[in-house]
Amino acid sequence: MNEITEIQEQLTSFYQSVISTLPRIGLALLLTFLAGFLLRFIRQKGAVLFAKRAEDLLIVDFFDEVLRVVNIIVLTLFFLYVVGLEGLAGSILAAAGISTFVIGFAFKDIGENFLAGIVMAFKRPFRVGDIIEVSGVTGTIQEMNIRDTQIKTFDGKDVFIPNGQILKNPLYNYTIDGFLRNQFNVGIDYGSDIAQARNIIQKTMEKVPGVISEEKPPINMIANLGTSSITITVQYWLDTFDSKFSGIEVQTQAITRVFEALKANNINMPGDIIELKNYDKGISVFKTSS
């Protein structure tokens, strides 16, 4: 009976302590809610002001997510202090320092990606909308968070590449300065007037919509003497900041117009040559590409 009485007294004492603590818990919840609302308001307003001053939204989104995680930690510790569990809050902070060292080995990649994200946020090797190539993936930057960067490939796939992998590997940004060079080849007949053909190509390319004609004008050059034709390489620049023109459509228009202009001026563009050789045992066919 003494043991039952002791248990009843302990339960009664625990119940009374919980009842006496309820007002403080309620106050802590109210203050934590108000503090969370205030921190969220400050974070959102700061993000808006920062977005107006920042050159791109990538760094804004990244640090907004970092601040969101920090706010959660601060509010948790604030709640414990208001309730009166300062010792527990202090223990959590002390344990955090020890556990950071221990967990750092277990989650080394997560920490590496987080730090890589901070480095890239300040260095800014790309912006939202830039076309990049890294680790064999080519596509458009969509978003960067504390762990990875989202890239949408040209065939519609969303690829999430860890920030650490991007930082450690060569990164090709095709649109960071607004200029992107494309090229294609044209084969003309050996009997054609090369100077005339190049002049026709040059004038035609300067009139193709989407091709830069002043700051970085198109050029053409003799690239190769083929078996049946002279290969002329045509190079031109695109303005990647101009969303009115698609790179694929500009190239299609350029090739089409060059072909039609050369054809209209009787510049022949030979195809494949098929050579027939007559042997005693039959005829052998050799096909040579132009």
> Residue 159 maps to which CATH number?
2.30.30.60
Could you tell me if residue 284 is inside a domain?
no
Could you tell me if residue 112 is inside a domain?
no
Q: Can you list the alpha helix ranges (DSSP code H) found in the chain? A: 2-53, 58-83, 86-106, 108-123, 163-168, 194-205, 247-264
Residues 10, 101, single domain; the answer is yes
- Asked if 71 and 154 count as a contact pair (C-beta separation under 8 A), the reply is no
CATH number at residue 247: 3.30.70.100
Residues 7, 78, single domain; the answer is yes
Could you tell me if residue 119 is inside a domain?
no
Residues 6, 101, single domain; the answer is yes
Residues 141, 76, single domain; the answer is no
Based on C-alpha coordinates, what's the Rg of the chain?
A: 34
Q: How far is CA 14 from CA 10, 30, 33, in A?
A: 6, 24, 27
Q: Which residue has the tokens 């040209």?
A: 154
Could you tell me if residue 113 is inside a domain?
no
Nearest one of 152, 124, 151 to 58, comparing CA atoms: 124
d(CA 255, CA 228): 20
d(CA 82, CA 24): 7
As a whole number of Å, the end-to-end CA separation of the chain is 106
Report if pTM > 0.85: no
Q: What is the pLDDT of residue 234?
A: 94
pLDDT digits over 166-220, tens only? Answer: 888 899 888 887 888 899 999 998 888 899 999 999 999 999 999 988 888 999 9
Residues 242, 199, single domain; the answer is yes
Residues 156, 198, single domain; the answer is no
Nearest one of 68, 67, 76, 97 to 31, comparing CA atoms: 76
Residues 19, 92, single domain; the answer is yes
Residues 169, 193, single domain; the answer is no
- Tokens representing 23 are 């007002």
Print the domain residue range for 153.
125-173
Q: What is the pLDDT of residue 106?
A: 46
Could you tell me if residue 272 is inside a domain?
no
pLDDT tens string for the chain (290 positions)?
A: 556 666 665 656 655 565 656 666 676 777 777 777 777 777 777 666 666 665 556 666 666 677 777 777 777 777 777 666 665 555 655 555 544 544 454 456 667 777 787 788 777 788 888 889 998 899 988 888 778 889 999 888 999 998 888 888 899 888 887 888 899 999 998 888 899 999 999 999 999 999 988 888 999 999 888 878 899 999 999 988 877 887 888 999 999 999 999 999 988 887 665 555 665 555 554 555 54
Of the residues 154, 173, 192, the one at which a domain ends: 173
- Distance from chain centroid for Cα 1: 72
Amino acid at position 238, single letter:
L
| 59-67 contacts, C-beta under 8 A, 24 or more apart | 59/121, 59/122, 59/124, 61/143, 61/144, 61/145, 62/117, 62/118, 62/121, 62/144, 62/145, 62/146, 63/121, 65/145, 65/146, 66/146, 67/43
Could you tell me if residue 84 is inside a domain?
yes
Residues 257, 187, single domain; the answer is yes
Residues 211, 163, single domain; the answer is no
Count: domains in the chain: 3
Could you tell me if residue 287 is inside a domain?
no
Residues 194, 253, single domain; the answer is yes
Residues 205, 168, single domain; the answer is no
Amino acid at position 57, single letter:
L
What dihedral angle (degrees, nearest 10) is formed by the CA atoms of 208, 190, 263, 261? 20
Of the residues 106, 135, 159, the one at which a domain ends: 106
